Amino acid sequence: MADTGKENSIKIKICGLYRGEDIEAVNRYQPDYAGFVFYPLSHRYVSKSLMYVWRERLDKRIPAVGVFVDLPEEEVADYWKAGLVQVIQLHGGESEEYIRRLRKLAPGCEIWKAFRIRTAAELTEARESGAGRVLLDNGYGTGQCFDWKLMENCRIERPFLLASGLRAENIQEAIQSFQPWGLDVSSGAETDKKKDPEKIRSIIETVRK
């Protein structure tokens, strides 16, 4: 974990790193987590062979989070066993049984599960998930916030990461309104679909104030 000096501070994950410049930026500004997408249909896709390079270059104090979409459990666990990721984030339709099987294949690995939030029922599903942490999302890379009003009437009542549409301009509102355990930022830290070091800096400084 990156040493922020604030054990109880809100965690920051900068996700969708796929270039050498991205690694340099997170090494410089030290988010709590660095996210890598192993989904071939994403423009942020990182191959397994390239991940060996990025994990070697990434500051050892920053855990790498692997984002997976409906891959066989054995394939996902192999990334952890190889030391390429320290956290597994499931971003597809993975079931509770899938999570149980994966936990046996990757004992001791932290497992996060993302939920696409459209209704209060989906918030309830996230609250009851067996994953170690849950991530509340709008829908896999849309760059738009889900309807935050849903959370006003249906509190999730467990530590969670808030994702989708987060940027320096609305992060303070998100923190004050929902007190998330963590923030997952991807497109909000980009310019023209590429990570912007200045936006990364601004987001991290805004949260840690």
Confidence check: pLDDT of 79 > 80: yes
The pLDDT, as a whole number, for residue 108 is: 95
Residues ≥6 apart with Cβ < 8 Å to 174 = 148, 162, 166, 180, 183
Confidence check: pLDDT of 107 > 50: yes
3-state secondary structure 36-68: EECCCCCCCECCHHHHHHHHHHCCCCCCEEEEE
The pLDDT, as a whole number, for residue 114 is: 94
The pLDDT, as a whole number, for residue 121 is: 81
pLDDT-derived band of residue 173, with 50, 70 and 90 as boundaries?
confident
Tens of pLDDT, residues 109-158: 999 999 987 777 888 898 899 999 999 887 655 555 556 666 666 677 78
Residue type present at position 190: E
Arithmetic mean of pLDDT, 52-73: 98
Arithmetic mean of pLDDT, 51-62: 98
pLDDT-derived band of residue 1, with 50, 70 and 90 as boundaries?
very low
Residue type present at position 29: Y
The pLDDT, as a whole number, for residue 2 is: 45
CB count within 10 Å of CB 194 equals 14
Dihedral (CA of 51, 52, 54, 59) sign: positive
Arithmetic mean of pLDDT, 32-61: 97
Dihedral (CA of 108, 71, 130, 138) sign: positive
As a whole-number percent, the residues of the chain with pLDDT over 70 amount to: 88
87 vs 159: which has the higher pLDDT: 87
Q: Are 150 and 119 in contact (CB under 8 A)?
A: yes
The pLDDT, as a whole number, for residue 150 is: 66
Tens of pLDDT, residues 15-37: 999 999 999 999 999 999 999 99
The pLDDT, as a whole number, for residue 87 is: 98
